[in-house]
Structure 1
Amino acid sequence: METKNMMEFKEEELMACCGSRIFAEEMEKACPFPSLEEAIVAARDIWFNKVNVNGWLQAFSVHPQIGHSPPSSSLSTFAQWSKGEQSTALSTATSSSLQELSEWNARYEEKFGFVFLICASGRSTEEILAELKIRYPNRPIVEFEIAAGEQMKITELRLAKLFSTKTKASSTGDQYSEAISKKAEDRMSIIGGHLAAALESSVGKTYQRPTRTRPPITTHVLDVSRGSPGAGIEVWLEAWKGPQPRPIFGDPDMNGWVIQGSSFTDNDGRSGQLMSIVDAVNPGIYRISFNTGKYCPGGFFPYVSIVFEIRESQKLEHFHVPLLLSPFSFTTYRGS
């Protein structure tokens, strides 16, 4: 592997891919990258594991509303890319569909506190509007994680653009010329549709599967009564190893639980590492328990346990099992 193939990026270049300053700083530290695939693996790790809530909100805040093209006078790379990504939506829009989209954008932002975020590349106005209506009923914490996932899709596409532009520039010696930018944009019409498949194919050949950057089971706690992360809560992860294949409801002999790891939630409500980072998690029944009684002494729950099953067909997937807690109620869901 030759040094000339290693890609270096500056913080401001990376800010065009994702508007989070923390993300850009961490990506610059992780440079150089030998390939787009390795840059994307690093980006996912940084975005989901190192960028905090404020960093996510900062990234969301720089996006224009879907259907609102950035000012034509703007010369920033971010603005130009954003305009290109919305080109299909804008070209398929009618005055009535744009009006309806604007109204729904306003309703969404009023409910959730941030702009509706979707990877708009190649999507029509009708498709985007339909997705907005589907996501609008979501609980805020659920929608927040969906928006973070959409931001990651956008970031991946823009990293591909950045790689494409830099690769061409280094081979011609004419950095960011108009012709190169046009060619890079043309290539992205193909990359945008097939990036996920290309990554899966290339990584499958080289590494069999992307190496995990976090344990396969994670959690976080949100204190919905305060509207803030639940920090300092003790968390245990256990696996069922009893004589029966699975715990039986109502069986008083529940001594088959074996602890896998424990930690305390940090200031963002995220747990520390609860198990080893492995590519394939053992299928079976798992239990995450939270010491909610110590966190909220006057609450109704001395502790909360969430039991779930990982099947053989799911052993390569990631399981994020958060706790949304108040003194007198709690809920959970499978996140990403």
Structure 2
Amino acid sequence: MGAILRLLLPPRMMELAFEEKDFLACCGSTDFAKQMALISPFSSIEAAIDAARDIWFNKVDVNGWLEAFAAHPKIGESKSANNKSETSAQWSKGEQSTALATATGSSLQELAEWNARYWKKFGFVFLICASGRSTSEILAELKRRYPNRPIVEFEIAAQEQMKIIELRLEKLFSSNEKPASTGNQYSAIAVKKVEDRVSVIGGHLTSASEGSASKTLQIPTRTRPPITTHVLDVCPAAGMDVLLEMWKGSQPRPMFGESDKGGWVLQGCSTTDKDGRSGQLTNIVEFANPGMYKISFNTGKYSPGGFFPYVSILFEIKETQKLEHFHVPLLLSPFSFMTYRGS
């Protein structure tokens, strides 16, 4: 998304410095806003988005995530009591405009009931990047996500918040552009047209396919290693040993049911911090080497007497994916675990 917008906007639009209050409008976490303001200005929208992703997923703690969630009004409502930014409130209203325009009295009532139900189960507002979504779409997504375990839903909400951050950073850059006094100026109307074109191309959504498409336009500069992980055990799991290995055996890949002794080569190791996030498992490089990888977690040492002495997760990075990022979290309880590819 950022790469597309960068191609459409003139370079002078990108050389802008912003204050903490500007970033607070993009995300309700004061820690996020402070860290973004400290490293501003940014050379481009993409640089700002890359920095925002790193700060949001790797440097803002659980309390910061909850603070950001609380700044959002419930879908169907105009304002949150915890919102510290008038700009953010205006943007929220605009992002919900499609939902409100397609709502009926009965659908708003149903939405309010499901919002209350969601809040009672999870303890935070139902978060979704609502721009361009109808009330029926949002209701369907709320009902689909409601059966999730709280720990899973917490991670999904954080990913939705990142989509909103990206969208608002683009608005921030566009609204603060200062036209030159000579010809070929970018007026407010021109900026709106750019936003519309970007929305048509892919909007604020950051699906895997869109991520791949944008990377074909511009090779990004990484701000973190290509492979990362974290561990959550209802709350963050601190002090867990983590190993990252890559398959270097005689066969192209380890075969199911066959011994893989000697085939795995250590790439890095770390221990999770107080937020459950591991340190660097690899160097920060432009691309990951294609192949089979394994992340192992010493769950037995972390939780003696649990059902799993250790957990290993295998995944493959293909040649066409080597520029992408691979976040492989572990969601753990004494008698179960799950994983997925995160952001």
Which of the five TM-score ranges fits, normalised by the shorter chain? 0.7 to 0.9
Aligned counterpart for 1:53 among listed residues 54, 62, 69: 62
How many pairs were matched up? 321
Query: Taking structure 1 as reference, are residues 301 and 131 closer, same or farther at Cα in structure 2, changes over 3 Å only?
Result: closer
C-alpha separation in 1, matches of 2:211 and 2:340: 28
Q: Which of 219, 240, 246 is 1:209 aligned to?
A: 219
Shift of 1:313: 3.4
Equivalent residue runs for 1:220-231 within 5 Å = 220-223=230-233, 227-231=234-238
Counterparts of 1:3-14 in structure 2, within 5 Å, are 6-14=15-23
What is the 5 A alignment of 1:102-141?
102-141=112-151
Q: 1:311 to 1:163 in 2, by over 3 A?
A: closer
Q: Deviations over 1:33-70 (max 9, x none)?
A: 23323222221221122111111111110100011123
Distance apart, 1:189 and its partner CA:
4.6
Assess if the C-alpha contact under 8 Å between 2:14 and 2:173 holds in 1.
no
In the superposition, relative to structure 1, how do residues 131 and 243 fare at CA in structure 2: closer, same or farther (>3 Å)? same
Which structure has more relative contact order (CA 8 Å, sep 6+)? It is 2
Match of 1:96 in 2: 106
Query: Bigger CA drift: 195-204 or 305-314?
Result: 195-204
Deviations 1:114-135 (A, max 9, x none): 1111111122111211222222
Residue of structure 2 equivalent to 1:263: 270
1:58-83, CA deviations, whole angstroms, 9 ceiling, x for partnerless residues? 11101000111238xx9811111111
| Matches of 1:107 and 1:98, distance apart in 2 | 14
User: Which stretch shows the higher mean deviation, 196-205 or 61-70?
Assistant: 196-205
Match of 1:233 in 2: 240
* Amino acid in structure 1 at the alignment position of 2:133: R
Measured at CA, do residues 253 and 122 of structure 1 come closer, stay the same or move farther in structure 2, by a change above 3 Å? closer
Instruction: Evaluate the alpha carbon distance shift between residue 332 and residue 41 of structure 1 in structure 2; reply closer, same or farther with a 3 A threshold.
Output: closer
Q: Residue 23 of structure 1 aligns to a residue in which SS?
A: helix
Counterpart CA distance in 1 for 2:188 and 2:75 is 23
Shift of 1:102: 1.2
Is the CA contact (8 Å cut-off) linking 1:157 and 1:192 kept in structure 2?
no
> Could you tell me how far 1:231 is from its partner in structure 2?
0.5
Q: Distance in 1 between matches of 2:24 and 2:85?
A: 14
Q: In structure 2, how many angstroms separate the alpha carbons of the residues matched to 1:288 and 1:161?
A: 38
Q: Any stretches of 5+ residues in structure 2 without a counterpart?
A: 1-9, 182-186
- Please give the alpha-carbon distance, in whole angstroms, between the structure 2 residues aligned to 1:2 and 1:245: 45
Matched ranges for 1:1-336 at <5 A = 6-70=15-79, 76-168=86-178, 188-194=195-201, 195=203, 205=217, 208-223=218-233, 227-252=234-259, 254-336=261-343
* Distance (Å, rounded) in 2 between the aligned partners of 1:249 and 1:186: 53
Query: Once the 2 structures are TM-superposed, how far is the Cα of residue 145 of structure 1 from its aligned partner?
Result: 2.0
Change (3 A) 1:171 1:103: farther
| Other structure's SS at 1:48 match | helix
CA distance in 1, matches of 2:139, 2:219: 35
Distance 1:260 1:116 in 2: 38
Q: From the superposition, tell whether residues 248 and 107 of structure 1 become closer, same or farther in structure 2 (CA, over 3 Å).
A: same
SS at match of 2:306: coil
CA contact (8 A) 2:13 2:173 kept: no
Greater Cα shift, 318-327 or 264-273: 318-327
Q: What runs of 5+ residues in structure 1 fail to find an aligned partner? A: 173-179
Q: Who is 2:3 aligned against?
A: none
Distance 2:309 2:167 in 1: 46
Q: Considering only aligned residues, what root-mean-square deviation do their CA atoms show, in Å?
A: 3.0
TM-score for both structures, normalised by structure 2: 0.83
C-alpha distance in 2, partners of 1:3/1:87? 31
- Aligned partners of 1:252, 1:209: CA distance in 2, in Å? 38
Structure 1 residue identity aligned to 2:112: S
TM-score for both structures, normalised by structure 1: 0.85
Worse overlay, 190-199 or 14-23: 190-199
Say if 2:26 and 2:168, in contact at 8 Å, map to a contact too.
yes
